Structure 1
Amino acid sequence: MDLIESLREGCPVLLDTGGHLRDSAPFCPAGVPAVVALPTSVDEVRHVMRTAHRLGVPVVPQGARTGLAGAANAVDGCVVLSLTGMDRILEIDPANRLVRCEPGVVTATLASAVSQHGLCYPPDPVSRDTCTIGGNIATGAGGICCVKYGVTADYVLGLSVVLSDGRLMRTGRRAVKGVAGLDLTHLFVGSEGTLGVIVEATLALRPARGPASGLLAAFASTRDAGAAVAAVIAAGHTPSALELIDRTTMQAIRDLGHPVEPAATLIAESDGPDQAADVAAMAALCRAAGAVRVEVRQDALGLRRLIAAAMLAIMAGMGGRPTAFIEDVAVPRSHLATLIDQLEIIALDHGLWIGATGHAGDGNLHPIVLFDQDDPDAVRRAEAAYDAIMAAGLRLGGTITGEHGVGLLKRAWLRKELDPESLRLQREIKRLCDPAGLLNPGKVFDD
């Protein structure tokens, strides 16, 4: 019996694979899968994995394919395991402040459901309206509010995982505390589908957040903006958001017709009980750091949501087939301003439009590179700029990824960041969990 017939015995399949070739990352090759499996239950996932293991066929797990590192790209002849059909919220437990759900639940849908119980699921990736919980866990996603509330990994209490041969394993617990044995739960967080297939997650919740107030502060230089970030943190404030937008991106927003300063701009927000006092104190710190304009406003984060429209406006005038490559690098907070300044040099050196926005509270920057993907020279320059950005982040004591993952895009750079013994051990863990090398092959590790 061949692969497709065997799969059909226990799981729905799709033969038209064209819509499941890749995620949203540029520069990453994608193969042609043999078939797309569409499970709606744990048993169907186990059937797919048992079948693929028996036949020696690779399996590439996929969620909403909003990822930006190529981790969900198909390989030739593989089974794409699309988990979007496993989209049930299984339990909301207000007494213990937790929720159980399947991997295909959309992040915003989960947040909305728990809010009906006076609770909050804080992780908020920019793609929260489309990305899935399983994908968030697999990539170790972050978000805008991580400076106060943490990232996805901070909320994962336990997982159900189907291993490469179809066995089902449960990790973690429902209790708030627990240190029995090794922390296998967080071994799978950020593993990008290379160790097992997440089929259920138990997630921690918090009390619902109230309305927030914020401010916009424009600075003559990124160094002054960086000094303001340092001052806010050193003063003991815990803003619910602390975002930095560079002057290049602010100019693009201004070109849309919005009355903003074309300057490095800090967005700070507070959702605490004394938010008016918090915002006033942060505003004073920004002025002391050299802010040329400070504006207190309720919808401060609305400015960040204008970035997508600003990028589309620039691309509309580029010609060809323009695209926006949103990168992800993190450095110590004290070096964030230096990294932004280096981006301006990289943009000039490679003749590209490069802007930046990022989570200033934790040093996670997202450079945005615009280029024409039909122009081979522009693609070459964009790839060279990407390498320069990665190198700059590492030189400043940072990491090649704060929340997007390694996938295909950053495999070569992982070797440059990790200690050789750490890299060796990680490869051994991969071989232990997936001895046949069938789970998402070629991702994260370059050999």
Structure 2
Amino acid sequence: MKKWFPGRVSLILPGLLLSQYGYAQLTLGAQLRTRTELRNGQGAPQPEGTAPAFFTSQRTRLMAGFSAYRIKLGLTVQDVRVWGQDASTINRTTTPDNNGFMLHEAWAEILLTDTVVKNKSLSLKIGRQELVYDDSRLLGNLDWLQQGRRHDAAVLKYESNSWSTHIGAAFNQNKENAGGTVYNATPPGNYTANTNGGNAYKSLEFLYVSRKLNKGNLSFLFLADQFSRYHIDSVEHVAVKTYEGAVNTRMTTGLFYTQAVNRFSCTAAAYQQFGTNGNGQTVSGSLLSASFFYSVNKTFSAGAGADYTSPDFDPLYGTPHKFWGSMDYFYVASGFGNKGLQDYYIKTKFKPNARWAVSGDVHEFYSASAITGIKKQFGTEADITANYTLTKMIGFEAGYSHFWSTATLSSPMVKNVKNAAANSNWAYISVNIRPEFLIK
């Protein structure tokens, strides 16, 4: 069954729609994903003697998609919470931090060219949507995080057999203002502003051009994001950021390449970042990445790769959990002193049948810049993940990660953890249930 709308949701009066548009189709779906975690130094080393954390989080989504002549609609609402975080007597109107219910996606895509134009299309997608490009390193939906990531944006898309060109833009405001465009970059809500947990952008523009190759792809990205300037005021002896109408502009541009030849596949990327970041600092950073994988046989594949990010580079709005270790020590909410990162890794995957898949990875992490008086090595991480598909709608996932950290990682110049344990670990088990229905 071919679906134009992968895994989306809810209640759109199917009887009325289908009677009015005999050629229309409606996709309904849901997701219930629980993740039980044991955290003993996930994100950053824990001080010696700290008790591990243990909890279960849950994401519940309702999704709907509607497709008719020259239009598609998508809707995703979700509730994200930790089991037991809010008792039935808590009023979440006055305790907004407990409110995990939100609109994840709500968009329309309008086909501007007539459908009789073969192999070419021009469309406009507007509304709250995920932005996912290439390998999700710089633009991804951050699906591992229960909240995920979305953007309020408009994207103009041109597609042909071998070329894709997308032009997107977003302009954020906190409310309907009577005057001015001052934007508070730390709006409330259960979501991260960007990959590094920094300021939310006030506006964003990007150009993405992709060329399909024989069993591969080559793409170009130029992205500019603007951040509200601010100054520090003292309110009752407490420093408070006051945001202004002027902006700082940061720009990121580069190439992504992937190619497969028989059993061999390779990926490479290079990006440059310049301009001024959200804190008003001039940046000049780069990201370089290269990897290869080889399918030994139908069940086993292995490969190796290396990533380099300079101290000034910020990986924007991507999915770091996919690249820099499952324990999320780098380029997530917990900073590491703006030292940049070198990551050398080996990855393996074993898939004995259609139901089972097991992967094992090892990362060796170093600082990309010198650190006065100490060595550059951050540590070693080993990750193992197992997936089992019970049915098309029910899946199980379990994982274990271990991090052997150095004194450099916990030093004041990096993670700044006093009396840090040298060994950290993290384990989880997840149940993912995704029913989907297509109504024609």
TM-score by length of 2: 0.29
TM-score by length of 1: 0.29
More helix by share: 1
